[in-house]
Amino acid sequence: METLAYFPRCLIFSLLLFLSHSPHRVSSHDQVQIDGEKKNYYQLDLPSVSGPESIAFDCNGRGPYVGVSDGRILRWEGAEIGWTEFAVPSINRDRKACDGSTDPKREQLCGRPLGLKFSPVSCDLYIADAYFGLLSVGPNGGAASQLATSADGIPFRLTNALDIDTQTGDVYFTDSSIFFQRREYFLAIIGGDKTGRLLKYDPHMKKVTVLQKELAFPNGVALSKDNSFVVVAETGMMRILKFEIHGDGGGVFAQLERYPDNIKRNDQGEFWVALNAVRGRIQGSNVFDSIPNWLNMRDPVAVKYDEKGNVVRVLDGDGGETLESVSEVEEENGVLYVGSVVKPYLGVIKN
């Protein structure tokens, strides 16, 4: 791969990176729209960090937990206490250089947690860290342990998202590229890189298996409620893929016209897909053909699908800054927690 061939794209990427990290805060809004209906909305501001990419709740229902820009995992302790530190990606992490950092250039040193999930089997927190690989930390937090950094002799370059089998504890996760790291993600997408992989980690055998290769920036991943299949966001192809856990069945679960990010399943077995980029009014798109016309979605930033791939609900960003960078939607007890790659807050939507 010749560096000079990517020179114009590097300029584009640098500009986008600069714009996406421009320091600005958005005032809290009282309402947002879901399916054309106004819903109550507020924000949990982060302490001098940004980018709550992924969200999790532990086995006791505590949380939300989020991974942030300086590599740490934070836990919300309520309005009086606010956010506290729960875990760090490595015992060797340099606190002086990392704590409070929002600089993408420090991520390789500090870590960048992108996927979070507490195992329903062990109650350990599993972390897909873009630079440190697949990690885990016990229910009481602390320094995470590194579980895997490669598969089939090929190192992970961008460990991205994960989900966990509720019966076996097996961890399904994505490595988005074998060439590009997180800070270079846009190059992987516009360059058509198809070296991403879907993998499985067996916590009993401590072994990683490659399930699918040659994926175009595989991103979010979620298992069905009965653990019979897994859906994966293939961001580079703007689609969601479905793979049967036992057997060769599968195919395209949903075709999109915005780049999908993380996927989270709720207790009813439905999947929230975050749509993180390429905003603006979608005209003539087939993404939302199954949405009733009366909804008139102006700016869909997340979509909920049932297990058959039918659209159930749509979250509308309404063209504003509040929901302009949605990386994940976690539904917990009827409340939606909205993550972001760059925002300095976690959004909360109550029905």
Residues in CB range of 9: below 8 A, 6 or more apart: 186, 187, 190, 191
Strand partners, 331: 336
pLDDT tens-place string over residues 211-246 = 999 999 999 999 999 999 999 999 999 999 999 998
Phi and psi, residue 179, nearest 5°: -115, -40
Indicate the range of 87-91, 109-113, 172-176, 313-317 predicted with least confidence: 313-317
Give the number of other Cβ atoms within 10 Å of residue 317's Cβ: 21
- What percentage of residues in the chain have a pLDDT greater than 90? 71
Res 191: pLDDT: 76
**pTM, 2 dp:** 0.86
171 pLDDT above the threshold of 50: yes
Residues spanned by the domain of 210: 3-350
22 pLDDT above the threshold of 50: no
CATH number at residue 222: 2.120.10.30
Phi and psi, residue 108, nearest 5°: -65, -30
Res 28: pLDDT: 54
Place of tokens 């949990």: 44
Res 208: pLDDT: 98
pLDDT tens-place string over residues 244-267 = 998 777 799 999 988 999 999 999
Place of tokens 């969601």: 240
Q: Structural domain tally of the chain?
A: 1
pLDDT tens-place string over residues 274-317 = 997 554 333 334 444 444 443 455 688 999 999 999 999 999 88
Degrees to nearest 5, angle at CA 86 with 80 and 90? 155
* Cis status of the peptide bond prior to 64, with omega within 30 of 0: yes
C-beta separation of 238 from 258 below 8 A: yes
pLDDT band at residue 20 under the 50/70/90 scheme:
very low
Torsion of CA 186, 192, 195, 196, to 10 degrees: 50
15 pLDDT above the threshold of 50: no
d(CA 271, CA 251): 16
Phi and psi, residue 186, nearest 5°: -65, -30
Question: Between the ranges 15-19, 65-69, 175-179, 287-291, where is the mean pLDDT highest?
Answer: 65-69
First to last CA, the chain: 50
